[in-house]
Amino acid sequence: MSNRLFGTDGIRGRVNEFPITAEVALRAGKAVAQVLRAASPDGNRVIVGKDTRLSGDMLEAALTAGLVSMGMDVYLADPMPTPAVALLTREMEAAAGIVLTASHNPFEDNGLKIFGPDGYKLNDELEALIERHILGEETEAPVIAPAGIGRIHRVDNAAERFAQSAKQAAGFPSLNGLKVVIDCGNGAAWRIAPQLFRDLGAEVIATGVDPDGLNINAECGALYPQKAGELVREHGADLGVSFDGDADRVIFTDAEGLVISGDCILGLAAIALKEQGKLREQTLVCTVMSNLGLHEAMKRHGIAVEVTAVGDRHVLERIREKGCSFGGENSGHLIFADHATTGDGILSALLVLRMMREKGASLRELASVVEEYPSRLVNLPVREKPPIASLPKLTALMAEADAAFDSNGRQLIRYSGTEKKIRIMVEHRDAAEVDRWIGKFSEVIREEIG
């Protein structure tokens, strides 16, 4: 299936370069209208949100023009977390929800994430159809008569609706007595998250709450949880919570300011849900990137593990397919499927804090259930992305590593779905072996790809 525009998480790229241009955004608006209104004939409403990137206004204007030209009514939610747009799409019975964001990428990038009327990301078939329309490979829809052009509205209470929904889903946990560092990454959560935690009684030290269009994810947020860790130590806080640019994922730091990996959070949450009788099928869904230590911890607690390809969409598809209730990625996507249709950093943070309160334990104590193998992930820029199977030296080295590792480790090498990068991940019981094999793989990749 062609995937020239859509990657692992929507359409993404550098602004003012194909496909992240005003022209493509205009065509995307027309394509979404044509495809998703056809799937929902009575629906002519689309929710549009964005994060805090400078390019958001430009792309929003073009996307909105495309939508209204096809007779769709557009409801603008302004800077808003991705899960908030998914929620509004369902609650307002819209035909689609679209978020202009490049998630954790720097401000120079942007993208489009598209949700269907059920609040879930689109499947491959619908993405491919929208793509063909954008690229002019499908028949254009008839021109809309002047009286049929859509209107533009604003969702004035979007933040309040999302905050109330998150509190309710988490059971209105009392955070009284907790001191929490909240790092919003100068992204979409910058207004909502600090106030929400204060409303529930926490003392909040907020950072990453001064977006200027250029500083989203810039040495802050989920990619730089060490910043929250420094503030935790400085203020004597109980933990740190760091969101990425569109707040669909979260990374935690403990009371000592040390980063807790996403796999440890997946493990402690799965165990807590099982104890509460809320882990359907007694199964955790995670991706191939999750540490072998997580698998061993789940086995000790009688929890099965389903493994998917990288991407929270793949995790959610498996959750729905198997009737499970929880899963996520080591990168910080946590999907509590009983409450949300996508990764939701803010809701996930509330639920984890509630687990801490209910167990009367620190985050570090809860996370100790997972003992991770030494692991290292390296991202190397590449000029092009030829199929890995077509690289004889690399594939031979991968086979050599598999034989050498046996059950003591593993390697995973794949291209980024959104950037011109190749990702090298090595895990092993022996940290020295991790570094040695990372070096060998990096050398061969530079030789074969550049």
Q: Are 235 and 181 in contact (CB under 8 A)?
A: yes
**Cβ of 136: how many Cβ atoms within 10 Å?**
10
Compute the distance between CA of residue 180 and CA of residue 202 in angstroms, rounded to an integer: 7
Identify the residue whose tokens are 């500083």: 215
Q: Are 292 and 374 in contact (CB under 8 A)?
A: no
Q: What is the largest CA-CA distance in the chain?
A: 69
52 SS3 class: coil
Q: Which helix (H) or strand (E) element contains residue 407?
A: none
Q: 264-291 burial, b if ≥16 CB within 10 A, otherwise e?
A: bbbbbbbbbbbeeeebbeebbbbbebbb
Residue 250: C-alpha distances to residues 94, 152, 329, 334, 349 (Å): 27, 32, 10, 8, 7
Kind of pairing, strands 203-207 and 179-183? Answer: parallel
Residue 15: C-alpha distances to residues 47, 51, 54, 57, 396 (Å): 22, 14, 10, 12, 38
Question: What residues act catalytically?
Answer: 103
Which tokens is 388 given?
């890995």
**Cβ of 85: how many Cβ atoms within 10 Å?**
32
Q: Which helix (H) or strand (E) element contains residue 411?
A: strand 409-415
ω into residue 142 within 30 of 0, thus cis? no
**Cβ of 199: how many Cβ atoms within 10 Å?**
14
Residue 402: C-alpha distances to residues 309, 416, 427, 438 (Å): 19, 22, 11, 13
Compute the distance between CA of residue 332 and CA of residue 107 in angstroms, rounded to an integer: 20
Q: 45-75 burial, b if ≥16 CB within 10 A, otherwise e?
A: bbbbbbbbbbbbebbbebbbbbbbbbbbbbb
Beta bridge partners of 357: none
